[in-house]
Structure 1
Amino acid sequence: MRGGSVFERCVVVGGAGAVGRMFSHWLVRSGVAVTWLDLDAAGAGAGGVDGVRVVAGDVRRPGPEAVAVLAAADVVVLAVPEPVAWEAVEVLAPVMRPGAVLADTLSVKSRIAGRLRRAAPGLQAVGLNPMFAPSLGLQGRPVAAAVVTDGPGVRALVELVAQWGARVVEMPAEQHDALTAVQQAATHAAVLAFGLGLGELSADVGALRDSAPPPHLAMLALLARIAGGTPEVYFDIQAANPGAPAARQALGRGLVRLGQAVEAGDEETFEALFAELRGVLGEHGAPLEELCARMFTALR
């Protein structure tokens, strides 16, 4: 054991990305020797984490040096887009040593889980999905863990992430995708549609902000954060999750129901919608209302 970790060597494929850097930072702090495998070794090294070695190479077509570091690794983390991870699985299966762990950080888990079971049944494998932007920090935040092929290495990795301060939530890959279709795809779609509505209405954002009540200010802030992000990330969430189309359609139907009640002057139906929403929230309504009050207190 080194620095609280049973792992000695880890390869992070795509380590220069935000998620790859976050995992690299914490692995190094745990005493693990971390190597990045990146197509652009010079570019990756420029934005690296202290103590990380960088090897040039493509995980889909690894050269001798890349094969050597992959074969020696206790853990390989795929912090790459889904098409790259998809191809990498078949390459890594015969290269990684027995007992090593393959972890992915994809936002959709069911497809890669099926791929791993078919192409790499001998590898211990787990999907890890930090449910937050790495810039917010890991402490106390949820990391979804979808175990594909369990084993002592997977158990050790999940425990290590928890030791870093994350709140690890284990779930099957299919449940992960069903939840994130709501948590991410529906939420992002609602915020983006709100922003598109502002544009269609030719809204003066400065004037809106000056007199914004807390709910509107929160929506403006959410819109600014998402619109200031990387479109590729948000497109992947909408396009890759098999439950995303149904989530967007449900949002649309909700707007239609709301509009129909108001346009018909049907206050009774409108009140029934509120009762329905309270039923959706159930026992979680009161604590979530208190959380919202604390958030709004901080908004200025």
Structure 2
Amino acid sequence: MFTSKNTRMNTHQTQYLSVFIIMLLTTLFFSSVALARGNGSTFTVNSTASLSDAALDGICDTGQTIGKEPECTLRAALEEANFSVGMADNITFDISGCMNSVCLISNAMPMPVITDTVVIDGSTQPGNSGVCSSAIPDRPTYGIVISGTQLQLDPGSDGSVIRGLNIIGSSSNLSIYSNDNIIECNYIGTDEYGEANVSISSEGISMECSASNNIIGGTLPEDGNLIAGHNQLGISISSVSSCTTKDLPLEMSFWAIILAPINKALASTETTIRT
């Protein structure tokens, strides 16, 4: 079969154009994913209290004051983040006056479930940045401790990030019902030193049938989570018998699953799970 030079050139040009378009779309896709995390409002928690927000208006304010600043509790920040639908908000921390620089956020009532994308970053607390820049055995004391309630990522919270927190003291410390979330550099079930079991929880992290493409840990030592001291399971993934076929992910792969012992000095830094 005879093919003219022009035809071959057009074919090559079409191929190059196709490759360029694919590369461009890929770049735009990953750029949009990166921008999707934390491109909304920032709410800075400055109190260990548990008051609700005074009014859902885009400002974290319980109606009380800390010094001369409006009080912003974690509860109020979560309420505002849920109210800001469609934006990936940030929750940061700047709490003063905590005993031994450990800020205990204790809640008798459940925290609001998370229904919109949010980045909760405990490493933003002054003096706490090292918890997400060190491997587990080398980490300093955690400065933000959430006790007595769980954090729950409900449908709608896809793409959230929970990092730099010490979470203890609920039936399940963290429950995930949404997709594409990152859980990294947390202590779950231990004390703030990572050396003692203080959890009354049956499970550290519970991932439900509807949850997929979630990453627990990461590829770097500083991404690892210390998950220990639970009555039943460190990480629970709903059993096949409780999921319908359509709920099951097409592929579920586990990367270096190591549920670290209570003594963080013995903990592996390779704590990554992808579902």
TM-score norm. by structure 2 comes to 0.28
Structure with higher helix content: 1
Instruction: Answer 1 or 2: higher relative contact order, Cα 8 Å, separation at least 6.
Output: 2
Q: TM-score, normalised by structure 1?
A: 0.26
**Greater fraction of residues in strand:** 2
